[in-house]
Amino acid sequence: MAALNYADVFQRGLQGQKFTIGVRFSDLYDPSGTSTNSFKYVDGKTIKIPVLTVTGMVDTTRDTIATATRKVDNAWETKTLSHDRTFRTLVDPQDIDETNMAVSIGNITSVFVNEELFPEMDKYMASKLFTEVTAYGTINNDAVATAANVLAVFDKFMTAMDEGEVPEEGRILYVTPAINALLKEALTNSRQLGTTQTNNEVSRIVNMIDDVKRVTVPSARMKEAYVFTVGAVPAAGADQINMILVHPKAVIAPVKVDVIYVDEPSAVTDGKALYMQRQYWDAFLLEQKAAGCQINATVVA
């Protein structure tokens, strides 16, 4: 019997959760393919992003006709998708019946997506951005143990983005719960100091936090590296990522395959249903926009 694609059926039930609540880095992923016009596939898994370079202007020649030559070059930044993951399980119809529908395809899908897929998507994004920032720049390891420390690092990140001409609008700050608590403390302190500081000084502190969207990510999903064998397990000695300041336009994260298949019970499967879900995706920091991602991490000895 041919495999039936149930992706559309489950998509309606899970769409609101899948890329909003469950995936904390949902703003960086591209499940709908809306950014595909910014790159092209050259084979099944390799994408090429166009990069143009032009020269600057020169003085105008008023008395002669200037010689026209080509002053534009085209190059390609190549990325290869590699994170191709599958979950499959057999489901005995008697298990469904005897557990009062607990072991149903719908429940299996819900538990797998919420407890395994969503966390792995976050873990992969955080660790991949760590790798990409390391390749194109440096990871900030300044201590962030106090409200003052965390503000200093945040200011440093904002300055680096300003120098890199990263758009102010759209920046997102991903933080662990501990760092989020320090930021809240910083905001509280800034308001309490309002009687001794000028309004401009207080506004500067508050606005530099509030004007940037802040997303709290569980610390378990913010490690330097993971072992992706069965699920996603932190690598031994992986550094703890504290905060990631990023502009979504600096990241390309295509989700190429997101599909669910269910084979009905048959003789081939010994009377059991066969459930399979496949997710094929990746995440890349664009080299020309590397200033659009800044990371602070605590080194694990």
Per-residue pLDDT of 213-239, as tens digits, reads: 999 999 999 999 999 999 999 999 999
pLDDT at position 5 is 40
pTM equals: 0.82
Asked if the model's pLDDT at residue 277 lies above 90, the reply is: yes
Q: Pick from 23-32, 75-84, 209-218, 222-231 the range whose average pLDDT is largest.
A: 222-231
> Rounded CA gap, 49 and 47, in Å?
7
pLDDT at position 240 is 97
pLDDT at position 289 is 94
pLDDT at position 243 is 97
Radius of gyration of the chain (CA): 24
Nearest to 140 by CA among 1, 272, 298: 298
- The answer to the question of residue 61 being in a domain is no
- The answer to the question of residue 60 being in a domain is no
Which residues 6+ apart lie within 8 Å of 292 measured at CB?
Answer: 161, 164, 166, 246, 247, 249, 250, 251, 285, 286
Q: Is the dihedral of CA 21, 24, 26, 29 positive or negative?
A: negative
pLDDT at position 7 is 42
- The answer to the question of residue 214 being in a domain is yes
> Rounded CA gap, 160 and 152, in Å?
12
> Rounded CA gap, 290 and 294, in Å?
8
What phi and psi values does residue 260 have, to the nearest 5 degrees? -125, 135
Mean of all residue pLDDT scores within the chain: 82
pLDDT at position 96 is 66
More confident site: 104 or 142: 142
The predicted model gives 96-104 an average pLDDT of: 58
pLDDT at position 197 is 53
**Number of structural domains, the chain?**
1
CB burial of residue 192 (10 Å; 0-12, 13-18, 19+): exposed
Q: Which residues form the domain of 13? A: 4-54+67-298
- The answer to the question of residue 59 being in a domain is no
